[in-house]
Amino acid sequence: MPVPTPAIDISCDGHIHTRLCHHASGEMEDYVRSAIAKGLRKIFFLEHMEDGVNYTEVTWLNEDDFDAYFAEGQRLQRIYHDRIDIGLGVEVGYNPEHVDQLRDRLARRPWDRIGLSFHYARLSANEPHLNLLSRRSENISRAREFGAETLLSRYLDTLIEAVTRLPADVLCHLDAALRYLPELTWTPDHLEQIDILLSLVKGNRLRLEINTSGLPIRGEPFPSSLILRKAINLGIPLVAGSDAHRPEDVGRHFDGIKDHLGKAVSL
């Protein structure tokens, strides 16, 4: 029997960043106006939270930043309430060494959505964390020196741990790690880890994000059609996210999501 194409709401962009994360541009209101201009009915800001990360630059919000984020977000909710729904969420980056701290910080605020990801891996005690999603040459070189396949296995094992240890609503950009290593291939062991991870996503009632930021990088969203097919077979609910870091990127490539789903169900 053919697998039906699952429903997904492409009138909602569930993954938006702003200048507050220190590596995006534009004010929160710029993103709201862009979403309205594109006919979206709802957006979720999903700003970065990290804890215990030693890196060469700050790419996340501190608690003062989150205070400002909520103040401005609530102001925008009041102003635009009759034009668009605005959710104030967080993309929490898992750190196995700072689970209690992350839980405490998450418990302090009334998030409309918690997205879960894993960006920074500690390779040794004496070096900065490795940014797994970075295009910078120093990060790519370190990943290759460590061993990309081994690092990908660690990434997946860490996500398997993360979905059982932190509260979350959505698993973000599942296979985006090491996205700038085009030679990296998925082994049977990696696919077995994916099966375990998706089973836990299903069991913990998380949704899986179709993140359209993958299209300019590799020609298809995150996750791949193969992984998406596995998620569809399990009945995992899907949500759309642009991962916008510029106002003009809100809702980008959403018109191609249904084609991506069609490709996945046809595998």
Q: What is the pLDDT of residues 26-52, one digit of tens each?
A: 999 999 999 999 999 999 999 999 999
Confidence of residue 143 (pLDDT cuts 50, 70, 90): confident
Q: What is the CATH number of domain 12-265?
A: 3.20.20.140
Cis bond leading into 247, ω under 30°?
no
Neighbours of 29 (CB within 10 A): 16
Amino acid at 216: P
Rounded-to-integer distance, Cα 69 and Cα 74, Å: 8
% of the chain with per-residue pLDDT over 70: 99
5, 265 in Cβ contact below 8 A? yes
Using the structure block, give the residue that is written with the tokens 């689970």.
Answer: 99
CA distances from 155 to 184, 229, 256 (A): 14, 21, 28
| Residue 182: predicted pLDDT | 82
- The two structure tokens encoding residue 122: 């500690």
Q: Is 62's pLDDT higher than 90? A: yes
Q: 141: which residues sit within 8 A by CB, 6+ positions away?
A: none
Weakest mean pLDDT among 46-50, 137-141, 157-161, 254-258 = 137-141
Amino acid at 81: H
Most confident of 63-67, 150-154, 177-181: 63-67
Q: What is the mean pLDDT of residues 226-247?
A: 98
Weakest mean pLDDT among 86-90, 164-168, 178-182 = 178-182
150 burial (CB, 10 Å; 0-12 / 13-18 / 19+) is exposed
β partners of residue 257: none
Q: Is 1's pLDDT higher than 60? A: no
Confidence of residue 134 (pLDDT cuts 50, 70, 90): confident
Rounded-to-integer distance, Cα 220 and Cα 224, Å: 7
Phi, psi of 200 (to 5 degrees): -70, -35
Helices 148-165 and 137-146: crossing angle in degrees, nearest 10, is 100
| pLDDT tens digits along 91-109 | 999 999 999 999 999 999 9
148 burial (CB, 10 Å; 0-12 / 13-18 / 19+) is middle
Coil, strand or helix: which one is 205?
Answer: coil
| Residue 84: predicted pLDDT | 99
95, 120 in Cβ contact below 8 A? yes
| Residue 179: predicted pLDDT | 87
Q: What is the mean pLDDT of residues 9-17?
A: 99
Of 144, 237, 223, nearest in space to 191 by CA: 223
- The two structure tokens encoding residue 7: 């429903």
| Residue 183: predicted pLDDT | 81
Using the structure block, give the residue that is written with the tokens 């949704």.
Answer: 207
Of 96, 109, 225, 89, nearest in space to 169 by CA: 89
| Residue 2: predicted pLDDT | 64
| Residue 189: predicted pLDDT | 97
Confidence of residue 266 (pLDDT cuts 50, 70, 90): very high
